[in-house]
Amino acid sequence: MPADHPPYVIDQMISAKSIAARIESLAREIGTEFAGTDKLVVVGLLRGSFVFIADLVRELDLPVEVDFLEASSYGDGMDSSREVRILKDLRGQIEGRDVLVVEDIVDTGHTLAHVTKFLVSRNPARLRTIALLDKPARREVDFKADWIGFEIPDEFVVGYGIDYGQRNRNLPYIGKVRFTQ
């Protein structure tokens, strides 16, 4: 059941076309980093990364396996609980594998910092992180993804997999929420 929210509109911030172009270029960089590997596991963080990972893996010219981990810290609001809960673990083993963790947004940094620690404890051969969006102004823990699609200002964003109150994940672009009252 969606929570009640004050009325808002969504202003486009990053177009679908710009996202697609950026993903093409990120995929080339990732291809260079992981060239020659036959043991890459691309791990999507649910739920927010489901659109990004789908587009990213289709641009990768590498043999990849795809797995998912579900982590949550926001609930239905705009504030991080700062307590990251792992709701669904990976299906496969990552010990000795190359791992690319795919995230939609790094905001306070709690989610990716926690997930990275959680996965590193399983001794992957190499672990790298990519986030489509980075909001450095909100950072509470020291975390930087290895690849970033776009650095954005301190705005609450939705679309391209990212929600507000579980809605708007299906927008093809990134927009910012603007309250009208």
Instruction: Give contact residues for ligand HPA (rule: CB under 6 A).
Output: 74, 105, 107, 156-158, 162, 164
Q: Residue 135 has which token pair?
A: 């909001």
Length of the chain: 181
| Torsion, CA 179, CA 82, CA 125, CA 132, rounded to 10 | 10
Taking residues 59 to 98 in sequence order and writing x for each that binds ligand PRP by CB under 6 A, - otherwise, the string is: -------------xxx-----x------------------
Q: In this complex, which beta carbon is closest to ligand PRP, that of residue 37 or of residue 80?
A: 80
Q: In this complex, which beta carbon is closest to ligand HPA, that of residue 98 or of residue 107?
A: 107
Bridge partners of 10, per DSSP, are 177
Q: Could you tell me which stretch among 2-10, 26-34, 45-53, 172-180 binds ligand PRP (CB under 6 A)?
A: 45-53
Looking from the CA of 112 toward its CB, the CA atoms found within 13 Å total 33
Rounded Cα gap, residues 56 and 52, in angstroms: 6
Burial class (CB in 10 A: 0-12, 13-18, 19+), 34: buried
Three-state SS for 118?
A: helix
- Helices and strands (H and E) in the chain: how many: 3, 9
Q: Closest residue to ligand PRP, Cβ-based?
A: 48
176 binds ligand PRP (CB under 6 A): no
Active site residue 107: yes
Q: In this complex, which beta carbon is closest to ligand HPA, that of residue 8 or of residue 156?
A: 156
Select the binding partner of residue 47 from ligand PRP, ligand HPA, none (C-beta < 5 to 8 A, by kind): ligand PRP
**Is there a contact between 97 and 123 (Cβ–Cβ < 8 Å)?**
no
Q: In this complex, which beta carbon is closest to ligand PRP, that of residue 77 or of residue 172?
A: 77
Three-state SS for 57?
A: helix
The active-site residue, picked from 104, 107, 134, 163, is 107
Q: Which are the catalytic amino acids?
A: 107
Interacting residues with ligand PRP (CB under 6 A): 45-48, 72-74, 80, 103-111, 163
